[in-house]
């Protein structure tokens, strides 16, 4: 894999989704314990403000540039990243890989009705993967979930608790199964069919963020962070 590109102290992998998928297949075959963070500008700013969280995500095996904001920042710093690698696309790739190799997957996060629907949709579409367990993301006691994951020994654990919770959960518990652990944010909301991904034209124009904001105005917080993100990146230019 190419040299990493550091933005706000986070070393981003500089590769394509396809090459990254190939690397994940190899790691899955070797059962290497793997922690993936898919970081957008909001996460980068949060990490800047919270050193403990920054340290925790710096322990990840891969930090991927999730979102066009990170790619633009890399261009501003004259060290352009090849392409964005999102949590949703990586999760989709992992589902395909799991389906091809009949791997075990565990899903954690989202509201009870969302995770139920996500499980149904995945089982319908990926008939060859083994969905060994799941739990919604609104639990008070994590111990039964940790015990369940430990017992099932999945190859892949997708955690959708939003940041920083999902990365904290992974960092604290990844030792219980030699799996690929990935924080996937709102991906189950999309997989359940509740939230629609932006039409392709918006994706191609890199205006997915605008579409999602227009359809879900609560996402304003994500856009609000951008000026500060850019300011922090500019400071790195000197």
Binding of ligand UDP by 169 (CB under 6 A): no
Please, which residue, 109 or 154, has the CB nearer to ligand UDP?
Answer: 109
Binding of ligand UDP by 197 (CB under 6 A): no
Find out whether 44 and 70 touch, Cβ atoms under 8 Å: yes
Binding of ligand UDP by 167 (CB under 6 A): no
User: Binding residue for ligand UDP (CB under 6 A) from 20, 62, 163, 209?
Assistant: 163
Q: How far is the CB of 88 from ligand UDP (least distance, A)?
A: 10
Please, which residue, 56 or 110, has the CB nearer to ligand UDP?
Answer: 110
In the complex, which residue's CB is closest to ligand UDP? 137
Task: Give the angle 227-233-238 at the CA atoms, nearest 5°.
Answer: 130
Binding of ligand UDP by 142 (CB under 6 A): no
Cα(48)–Cα(50) distance, integer angstroms: 6
What are the b/e assignments for 172-192, b being 16+ CB within 10 Å? ebbebbbbbbbbbbbbbbbbb
Candidate segments 21-29, 105-113, 126-134, 226-234, binder of ligand UDP by CB under 6 A = 105-113
- Determine phi and psi for 209, rounding to 5 degrees: -55, -40
Residues 6+ apart with CB under 8 A from 94: 24, 105, 156, 158, 180, 182
User: Binding residue for ligand UDP (CB under 6 A) from 111, 152, 197, 206?
Assistant: 111
Q: Which 3-state string (H, E, C) describes 57-71?
A: HHCCCEEEECCHHHH
**Site of interaction with ligand UDP (CB under 6 A):** 109-111, 137-138, 160-163, 165, 185-186, 188-189
């Amino acid at each position: 894999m190419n040299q990493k590109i550091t933005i706000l102290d986070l070393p981003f992998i500089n590769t394509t989704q396809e090459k990254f998928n190939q690397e994940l297949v190899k790691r899955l075959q070797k059962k290497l314990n793997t922690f993936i963070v898919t970081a957008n500008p909001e996460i980068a700013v949060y990490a800047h403000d919270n050193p403990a969280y920054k340290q925790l995500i710096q322990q990840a095996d891969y930090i991927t540039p999730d979102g066009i904001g990170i790619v633009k920042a890399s261009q501003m710093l004259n060290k352009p990243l090849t392409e964005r690698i999102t949590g949703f696309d990586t999760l989709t790739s992992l589902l395909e890989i799991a389906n091809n190799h009949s791997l075990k997957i565990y899903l954690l996060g989202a509201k009870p009705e969302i995770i139920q629907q996500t499980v149904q949709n995945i089982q319908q579409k990926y008939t060859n993967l083994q969905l060994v367990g799941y739990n919604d993301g609104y639990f008070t006691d994590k111990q039964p979930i940790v015990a369940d994951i430990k017992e099932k020994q999945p190859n892949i654990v997708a955690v959708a608790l939003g940041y920083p919770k999902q990365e904290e959960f992974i960092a604290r518990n990844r030792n219980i199964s030699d799996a690929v652990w990935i924080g996937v944010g709102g991906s189950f909301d999309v997989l359940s069919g509740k939230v629609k991904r932006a039409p392709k034209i918006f994706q191609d124009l890199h205006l997915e963020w605008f579409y999602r904001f227009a359809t879900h105005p609560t996402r304003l917080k994500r856009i609000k962070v951008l000026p500060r993100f850019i300011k922090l990146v500019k400071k790195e230019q000197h």
